[in-house]
Chain A
Amino acid sequence: MSTVQWYFPDTIDEALMYLGRERVAAHGGGTSLIKNGISSLKGVVDLSKLGLDSLKIDKGILETGAAMSFAEVAESLANLYPDCLLGKALGAAASTPLRNRITLGGSAALFPLWSDLIGPMSVLLGSVCVDGKNAGTYSFSAWLADRSLLEGSLITTLLFPDAIDWLSYYHRETRVGFDYPAFTVSILARKNGSSLEKVRIAVAGGLDRVLRLTELEETLSGGDLSALEKLDVKKMASVKFGRKPAGSPEYLSEMAALQVERGLKGILIEEVKSR
């Protein structure tokens, strides 16, 4: 006989009261909880009544509620800002029925290996707003570095301070469309005529989990577009991988570098769309 207790709080304070107890977990869409099982837990707190399900964009700052599903965010952004990297990435994640359940908060809590959120969070300089014991707003890197921040706390919002008006490219390396990606490539760029104002590039899924290609970013940012033709982009986009079902470390490293090169040339020179 199971002893797991479900709670359906109406307020964040009430949710935090339950989450402060031992072996109690938050439930957004439930996809991760189902994979891990809840029989070892004492309680599960459903977050669907807390009002954490709105998306707001003001002066370029994108604010997304933690209980929003990937599908809700992707659809909202596809209508408002079709080139927004976050919308492209979340709209391509997993499959249609799973996108209807996976929530931003759940994904930010765990950043599972297959997450399509981690790359966009990195290049969009996203931050995680938390209420409860560790209340505050944490940069993506600070959040990722300290998993204890989630204890006794609740992710309420993800913030993206400069989310729109970028040229963007998102690639998920999969064997078939609905597969989990072996890696993802996220690229943002702003150009002014023939000069490149700013470039940000992240590869997720390698040994570093998510890696910003800072050397390549610094070489390209502030330079001329023609520099892209002369650079050995593939060499500068070297990312280390472990063995995965999708391929050997060498193969994945080669493919990731190729996709970075293809993405940069695509959005800056040929204006191709993301896959």
Chain B
Amino acid sequence: MNGSFVVNGRRVEWSFEPEATLLDVLRANGHPEVHRGCDEGSCGACSVLLDGKLVNSCQVFAASAIDKDVLTVAGMGTIHEPHPLQTAFVETGAIQCGFCTPAMILASLALLRSNPNPTDEDIRSALDGNYCRCTGYVKIIEAVRLASRRMSAHD
């Protein structure tokens, strides 16, 4: 089947199997930044924003995302102009192996869009679907706090 999506602000038209997940389709069409982890909705490595909502792309049929907006971490910033969240993750050392990082940053973005000044509890709750097996989460929470302060200061 064919379907049109808006991925990182750009309209695309892709062909895919009816049972394909959004993760399958994104990775098959040049979005390796969306990582395949557990493939069962537990680890969160494949998270994207679908119409602004954080979802596990491995748990979304591509057919159900037709005509919707998909944001991957590649749509947030560039290497020359990174998003404040991306900068904060680097500066605080919130990245070790980096496998969870794209999804972790998207989960943080979804949080800060709805709650610009989250408490640590809010941050922990918003990231509850994203595993990190390296950092112990301390630096990640610190990064979200830092980005929150910087983004609020710019408002």
A116 at interface, CB cutoff 8 A: no
With the chains together, A177 CA to B123 CA distance in Å? Answer: 13
Q: Are B128 and A38 in contact (CB under 8 A)?
A: no
Measured between beta carbons, the chain A residues less than 8 angstroms from B50 are: 100
Looking at A35, A94, A96, A178, the one whose CB has the most chain B CB atoms below 10 A away is A96
Contact B21 A100 (CB under 8 A): no
Considering residues A4, A98, A100, A101, which has the most beta carbons from chain B within 10 angstroms of its beta carbon?
A100
**Contact (Cβ within 8 A) B128 A95:** yes
- Chain B contact residue count (CB 8 A cutoff): 28
A: contact size bracket: 20 to 34
Cβ-defined partner of A4 (8 Å) among B18, B21, B58, B129: B18
CB of B19 within 8 A of CB of A37, answer yes
Chain B residues near A71: list those with CB within 8 A.
Answer: 53
Whole-angstrom distance between the alpha carbons of A31 and B44 in the complex?
14
The answer to whether A96 and B54 touch across the interface, beta carbons within 8 angstroms, is yes
Q: For the complex, is B37 an interface residue (Cβ under 8 Å from A)?
A: no
Which residues on A are within 8 Å of B, measured CB to CB? 2, 4-6, 27, 30-31, 33-35, 37-39, 44, 46, 48, 71, 94-98, 100-101, 177-178
Residues of chain B whose beta carbon lies under 8 Å from any beta carbon of chain A: 1, 17-19, 21, 40-42, 44, 47, 50, 53-56, 58-61, 63-64, 107, 110, 125-129
A-B contact pairs, 6 of them (CB 8 A): A6-B18, A34-B58, A37-B19, A44-B18, A95-B41, A96-B129
